[in-house]
Amino acid sequence: MAYVETKPTAGRHFLQIPGPTNVPDRVLRAMDNPTMDHRGPEFGRFGKALLEKARTVFRTASHVVIYPASGTGAWEAALANTLSPGDRVLMCETGWFATLWREMAERLTLRPEFLAGDWRRGADPAQIETRLREDKERAIKAVCVVHNETSTGATSRIDEVRKAIDAAGHPALLLVDTISSLGSIDYRHDEWGVDVTVAGSQKGLMLPPGLSFNAVSAKALKASEDAKLPRSFWDWRAMLAANETGYFPYTPATNLLYGLDAAVDMLAEAGLDNVFARHDRHAEATRRAVRAWGLEIQCEEPRHYSSSLTAVRVPEGHSADALRATILERHNMSLGNGLGPLKDRVFRIGHLGDFGDLQLVGTLGGVEMGLRAAGVPHKPGGVQAAMEYLAGNA
């Protein structure tokens, strides 16, 4: 862990992967309080208030379950609480994380159907509607969509997916992964009729990894009564029963809950809509930089541009990973790598969480200097283009 300044770089590391994000001091300090008795009266008051206010971030009046586990666990919880072995689920190939979720579904003995995608846009509502209309026997029990595909920087339109399901008149549950969008990109659990929202602590919520979430609709709760997948740790029932008085059925990750309390307060103080606007603005500035460099944005559909990250393709014959290594070595910044078939083809710029204009300028500056140092063909002027946009929209 020791800090060793062995090269011209010094100063704070730029953690510009699309999560975990830079944890603000206020959250770190909150986490740094002594662990309290999770069965004592003070915890009950704290837990009850926290479970209540956590709902605001999901824009739901329904239950939010908090797991002492990282985000992948909440994927499993969403499936395990609502489905039974052999159940058919409709999933959308938006990229690497959608693929991993499908693999998880298979391992859990579900039968996922994967609507093919080209990893350059969000889920296709029309495709979903078509498939659901075909499913006359209502064999499909759930539609699973990754709201913001972290591997590609494409944000699916959940409102349109909802309409597609409704248009097909299909009773399937809608399960949505918001791990890299919650608290960064507009999201509305209730208004969009989502049944289970899956989220994690380490992105827009500005916490270290270690907490994950299920926001649960009444319909999902009802489905959980008949769901047959074996479950214990992830079981909503014991959770919700204990949560009524502010407690948890087993030891919660107390110190991360302190941090969550601070993070939810910060989002409320800022106003969620202001936070989303900030992310939209930084994403647009980033895309302008990418275009000025003459590079290609992985997401081809402007309506699906992600406001929390931008995946950038490097020209054929060049290595995104070599570029990232150069930037890390020379300028002390971590960028996201390409995943799966995008390995070494894209790098990903995270611009989410506790992040400001000047961090963005520094981040884009690091990319631009790195492109030059790594010999990746590009035009200079990306930072300049971003600054022009930022200055004109402050």
DSSP state of 259: H
Whole-number Cα distances in Å, 187 to 79, 147, 374, 385 = 21, 9, 38, 29
Interface residues for a second copy in 204-233 (CB under 8 A)? 208-210, 229-233
The residue among 58 and 67 lying less far from a second copy, judged by its C-beta, is: 67
Binding mask 126-155 for a second copy (x = CB under 8 A): ------------------------------
Instruction: State yes or no: residue 285 binds a second copy (CB under 8 A).
Output: no
Q: How far is the CB of 170 from a second copy (least distance, A)?
A: 26
Our finding on whether 340 is near a second copy (CB under 8 A) is no
Which residues within the stretch 180-199 sit at the binding site for a second copy (CB under 8 A)? none
Q: Is 119 in the site for a second copy (CB under 8 A)?
A: no
| Nearest of 210, 285, 201, 217 to residue 78 by alpha carbon | 217
Among the listed ranges 54-62, 135-143, 291-299, 354-362, the one in contact with a second copy (CB under 8 A) is 354-362
Report 264-283 residues binding a second copy (CB under 8 A).
266, 269-270, 274-275, 277-278, 281
At 380, give phi and psi (nearest 5°): -65, 170
Tokens of 171: 């009773």
Residue 1 as a binder of a second copy (CB under 8 A): the answer is yes
Q: Does 73 bind a second copy (CB under 8 A)?
A: yes
Contact yes or no for 115/124 (Cβ under 8 A): yes
Interacting span for a second copy (CB under 8 A) from 140-148, 164-172, 291-299, 380-388: 380-388
Listed as own residue / partner, the contacts of 128-131 with beta carbons closer than 8 Å and 24 or more positions apart are 128/90, 128/92, 128/161, 128/164, 128/165, 128/168, 129/164, 129/165, 129/167, 129/168, 131/90
Nearer to a second copy, 13 or 133 (CB): 13
Interacting residues of 209 by C-beta distance below 8 A, sequence separation 6+ = 20, 70, 71, 200, 201, 202
21 vs 178 by CB, closer to a second copy? 21
Residue that the structure tokens 């539609």 belong to: 143
- Check binding of 20 to a second copy (CB under 8 A): yes
Which residue from 138, 250, 303, 377 is in contact with a second copy, where contact means CB under 8 A?
250
Q: Is 252 in the site for a second copy (CB under 8 A)?
A: yes
Q: Which stretch binds a second copy (CB under 8 A): 68-76, 122-130, 162-170, 290-298?
A: 68-76
* Whether the Cβ atoms of residue 340 and residue 99 lie closer than 8 Å to each other: yes
Q: Which residues contact 1 (CB under 8 A, 6 or more apart)?
A: none
309 is a contact residue toward a second copy (CB under 8 A): no
- For a second copy (CB under 8 A), the number of binding residues is 116
Contact pick of 17, 98, 168, 309 for a second copy (by CB under 8 A): 17
Name residue 208's amino acid: P
